[in-house]
């Protein structure tokens, strides 16, 4: 199977990301290289596309079951953050936390492992985050709003 090569620019860093599918759909080999530095090899789930994000100085990629926080300079290493609850659809940075939008749930993971969570009746179709409020819409067009407060998700109920 043919590898797919992507370039990802995060401020002054240029990452080369090579995704190589395997014969097993459950696995994709991922090689990430930072210009002027070494490369790192990972095996990620293959049933969802690898996605990219950047928030301030934090650049990251994610697959169905993990986030890879990319190094901030050539002497650092990436940090893998595993997540086995449910497939990741979208990942946002919320201060010191990771805001994970999954198929039927949302999680706020704090730096010390603390977690806030919310569950939805239907499959999530889209989400947006403005740094304070996250809005999630499901396949039935139901909309949910949450305030991100420290490591808690507080649902906003319109009255």
The domains of the chain are located at 1-82, 86-159
The pLDDT value given to residue 159: 60
Give 78's strand partners.
Answer: none
The CATH code that applies to domain 86-159 is: 2.40.10.480
Tokens 């934090």 map to which residue? 58
Q: What percent of the chain is predicted at pLDDT more than 90?
A: 77
Reported for 29-35, long-range contacts at CB under 8 A and 24+ positions apart, including other chains, are 30/61, 30/63, 30/68, 32/61, 32/68, 32/70, 32/78, 34/70, 34/71, 34/74, 35/74
Q: What is the mean pLDDT of residues 107-131?
A: 94
User: Does residue 147 carry a pLDDT above 90?
Assistant: yes
Q: How far apart are CA 117 and CA 136, in angstroms?
A: 13
Report the Cα 157 to chain-centroid distance in Å.
Answer: 27
* Sign of the torsion formed by the C-alpha atoms of 81, 87, 88 and 94: negative
Q: How far apart are CA 131 and CA 94, in angstroms?
A: 6
User: Does residue 111 carry a pLDDT above 70?
Assistant: yes
């Amino acid at each position: 199977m043919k590898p797919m090569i992507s370039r990802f620019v995060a401020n002054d860093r240029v990452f080369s990301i090579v995704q190589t599918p395997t014969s097993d759909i459950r696995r994709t080999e991922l090689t990430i290289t930072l210009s002027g530095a070494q490369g790192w090899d990972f095996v990620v789930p293959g049933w969802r596309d690898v996605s990219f994000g950047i928030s301030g100085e934090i650049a990251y990629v994610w697959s169905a079951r993990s986030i890879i926080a990319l190094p901030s300079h050539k002497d650092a290493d990436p940090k893998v953050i595993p997540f086995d609850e449910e497939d990741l659809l979208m990942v946002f940075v919320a201060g010191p936390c990771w805001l994970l939008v999954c198929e039927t749930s949302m999680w706020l993971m704090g730096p010390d492992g603390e977690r806030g969570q919310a569950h939805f009746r239907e499959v999530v179709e889209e989400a947006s985050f403005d740094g304070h409020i996250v809005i999630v819409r499901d396949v039935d067009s139901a909309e949910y709003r949450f305030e991100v407060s420290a490591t808690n998700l507080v649902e906003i109920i319109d009255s």
